[in-house]
């Protein structure tokens, strides 16, 4: 298959993954975005969600925020919160959900934060299922 | 001439000092490996982030309306210097090297008639700088109680700096830290983080294409620039942590060696004076016997 490009997810602590992929879905700020080979150069940032890397098999990564750059068939994801979904444990998921819900219920959150938090909660619940 | 007892005591004390320095060296070596790994793993993130920003800078067509964090306020009247040092001493020239570089920069800034503001991170740097430049220090951070510095700490400082910037407290921000090259070489560095410094050595060719932005350029920059500042600070933290351990390791290694040499010298002295006293006693006995 020649229809592949490279994807790299980097966190401040380490380089999380570097692999070939045939398709990647990212939770861009304004909606899900599927990226194939020869995409136009792109810069965008992320909302909480799941990055899906399609290669021979499917891999899921949870992110809360981050920056995405695509150029020269190289997809670069910079995120300080990226984690492989399989690595997330049920207990920590539950605490993360309750923390986010608590924050959402306090009055002094801006619309933008509300938007991000609601996505965070729904994504986490999705993983938790 | 010190008595035999004195020499004995000294040898004992030097030996126990040697034990301490040896232990410190081992601890530093163990910590160094981890810190070095972290620093090396953290490098791609900050580099890529800087790259994206530089690419963005080039594609901006309206520099007048660009965010101030990127292009600066257009003035260079007030400088904010962020000096990153360790919280612990006994690490050779590590802290003094950063402070020396920082001080020479301070001097330059002041002699050019510009305003100076200082933020220190780590208690050792604060001690060295406050003697001369105490009145310029506006804030001090210390993460002494933290075992390992994470991205969160860097974000705290980053936010503080951005707040100050928004209040027009300064025009330019310079970061001082030690760049970890290898175990024995650490290079103190000054890096300008606001406005973003444009590296002209970058290849212009491969960045000539224009990006598609989503949502739009300004929003992305607004999100990215503060993040970049935290990232650069975090990178400096990691480099500093590795440098500190490397520097301590070499310093303690030297101290251990020096202590060893001192012990050897003292032992020779001790043996010599012991032999002298024996010889003296023998002479006394022999000459006493002869005179009979």
B240 shares a domain with B284? no
Q: Is B158 on the interface with A (CB under 8 A)?
A: no
DSSP B86-134: -S---STTHHHHHHHHHHHHHHHHHHTT-EEEEEEESHHHHHHHHHHHG
User: Which CATH class name applies to A5-84?
Assistant: mainly beta
CB distance from A102 to chain B under 8 Å? no
Is A71 in Cβ contact with B151 (below 8 Å)? no
- Pair of tokens at residue B279: 């010889």
Does B205 reach chain A within 8 Å, measured CB to CB?
Answer: no
**Contact between B214 and A28 using a beta-carbon 8 Å cutoff:** yes
Q: How many residues would you count in chain A?
A: 129
Same domain? For B274 and B130 the reply is no
**pLDDT tens column, B150-196:** 888 888 888 898 888 888 888 888 999 998 888 888 899 888 888 87
Domain check: are B67 and B39 in the same one? yes
Confidence (pLDDT) at B46: 87
Q: Within this chain, do residues B92 and B146 fall inside the same structural domain, yes or no? A: yes
B16-50 pLDDT tens trace = 999 999 999 999 999 999 999 888 888 888 888 88
Q: Say how far apart CA B28 and CA B20 lie, in whole Å.
A: 12
Closest CA to A26 of A2, A11, A4, A7: A7
For residue B84, give the CATH number of its domain.
3.40.1380.10
Give the DSSP letter of residue B79: E
Whether residue B48 and residue A41 make contact (CB cut-off 8 A), yes or no, is no
Residue of A nearest to B46 (CA): A12
Put simply, whether B213 touches A (Cβ < 8 Å) is yes
Asked if A41 and A30 count as a contact pair (C-beta separation under 8 A), the reply is: no
Using a CB cutoff of 8 Å and minimum separation of 24, what contacts does A62-68 make?
A: A62/A88, A62/A123, A62/A124, A62/A127, A63/A27, A64/A120, A65/A116, A67/A43, A67/B49, A67/B52, A67/B220, A67/B223, A67/B224, A67/B227, A68/A26, A68/A28, A68/A42, A68/A43, A68/A44
Assess whether B16 and B127 both reside in one domain. no
**Would you please indicate which residues of B are annotated as catalytic (active-site) residues?**
91
Beta carbons within 10 angstroms of residue A97's beta carbon: 18
pLDDT classification of B224: cutoffs 50, 70, 90: confident
Q: Smallest CA–CA separation between A58 and chain B, in Å?
A: 25
Q: What is the dihedral of CA B259, B262, B266, B268, to 10 degrees?
A: 120
Are B212 and A69 a contacting pair at CB < 8 A?
A: no
B209 with A41: Cβ contact below 8 A = yes
Sign of CA dihedral B61, B62, B67, B69: positive
Chain-centroid distance of CA A118 in Å reads 15
Instruction: Show me where the domains of chain A are located.
Output: 5-84, 88-128
Residue B148 lies in a domain: yes
Q: What is the pLDDT of residue B60?
A: 67
Q: Give the chain B residue nearest A9 (alpha carbons).
A: B45
Mutate to test the interface with A, among B223, B224, B234 (most CBs of A within 10 A): B223
Residues B151 and B275 in one domain: no
Nearest to B224 by CA among B75, B84, B60, B79: B60
Q: Which domain holds residue B286?
A: 4-21+254-290
Claim to verify: residue B268 and residue B127 sit in the same structural domain: no
The model's confidence at residue B281, banded by pLDDT at 50, 70 and 90, is: very high
Name residue, tokens 């305003």.
B115
Could you tell me if B205 and B225 lie in one domain? yes
Q: Is the pLDDT of residue B63 over 80?
A: no
Question: Contact B220/A45, CB-based, under 8 Å?
Answer: yes
Does one domain contain both B269 and B200? Answer: no
Cβ-Cβ contacts under 8 Å between A and B: the total is 70
pTM of the model: 0.84
At residue B234, what are phi and psi to the nearest 5 degrees? -65, -40
Q: Which residues of A touch B206 (CB under 8 A)?
A: 72
Nearest to A6 by CA among A17, A14, B38: A17
A115 near B CB under 8 A: no
Instruction: Say if residue B230 is in the same domain as residue B266.
Output: no
Element (H, E) at B228: helix B217-290
> Hey, are the CB atoms on B231 and A67 less than 8 Å from each other?
no
| B74 & B44 share domain | yes
Whose structure tokens read 């299922």? Answer: A129
Looking at per-residue confidence, does A106 or B113 come out higher? B113
| Residue B181: both structure tokens together | 């090259």
Q: B49 and chain A: CB distance < 8 Å anywhere?
A: yes
Strand blocks (E) in chain B: 78-84, 115-121, 137-141, 172-180, 186-194, 212-214
């Amino acid at each position: 298959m020649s229809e592949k490009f490279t994807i790299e997810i980097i966190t401040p602590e380490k380089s999380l993954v570097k692999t070939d992929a045939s398709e990647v879905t990212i939770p861009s700020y304004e909606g899900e975005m599927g990226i194939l080979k020869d995409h136009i150069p792109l810069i965008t940032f992320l909302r909480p969600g799941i990055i899906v890397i399609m290669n021979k098999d499917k891999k899921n990564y949870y992110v809360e925020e981050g920056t995405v750059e695509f150029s020269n068939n190289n997809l670069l994801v910079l995120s300080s919160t990226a984690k492989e979904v399989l690595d997330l444990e049920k207990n920590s998921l539950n605490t993360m959900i309750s923390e986010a819900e608590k924050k959402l219920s306090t009055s002094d959150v801006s619309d933008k934060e509300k938007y991000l938090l609601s996505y965070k909660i729904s994504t986490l619940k999705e993983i938790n299922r | 001439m010190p008595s035999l007892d004195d020499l004995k005591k000294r040898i004992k004390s030097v030996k126990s000092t040697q034990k301490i320095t040896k232990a410190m060296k081992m601890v530093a070596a163990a910590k160094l490996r981890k810190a070095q790994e972290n620093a090396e793993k953290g490098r791609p993130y900050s580099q890529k982030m800087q790259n994206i920003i530089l690419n963005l800078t080039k594609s901006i067509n309206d520099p007048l309306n660009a965010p101030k964090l990127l292009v600066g306020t257009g003035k260079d009247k007030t400088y904010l210097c962020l000096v990153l040092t360790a919280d612990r001493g006994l690490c050779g020239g590590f802290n003094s090297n950063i402070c020396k570089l920082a001080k020479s920069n301070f001097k330059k800034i002041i002699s050019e008639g510009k305003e100076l503001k200082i933020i220190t991170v780590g208690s050792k740097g604060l001690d060295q700088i406050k003697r001369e430049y105490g009145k310029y220090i506006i804030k001090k951070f210390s993460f002494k109680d933290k075992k390992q510095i994470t991205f969160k700490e860097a974000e705290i400082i980053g936010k503080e700096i951005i707040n100050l910037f928004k209040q027009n407290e300064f025009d330019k921000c310079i970061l001082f830290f030690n760049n970890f090259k290898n175990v024995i070489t650490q290079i103190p560095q000054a890096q300008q983080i606001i406005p973003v410094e444009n590296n002209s050595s970058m290849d212009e060719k491969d960045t000539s294409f224009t990006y598609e932005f989503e949502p739009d350029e300004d929003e992305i920059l607004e999100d990215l620039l503060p993040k970049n500042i935290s990232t650069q600070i975090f990178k400096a933290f990691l480099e500093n942590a590795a440098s500190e351990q490397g520097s301590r390791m070499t310093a303690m290694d030297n101290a251990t060696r020096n202590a060893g040499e001192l012990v050897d010298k003292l032992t020779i002295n001790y043996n010599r004076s012991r032999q002298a006293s024996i010889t003296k006693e023998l002479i006394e006995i022999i000459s006493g016997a002869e005179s009979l």
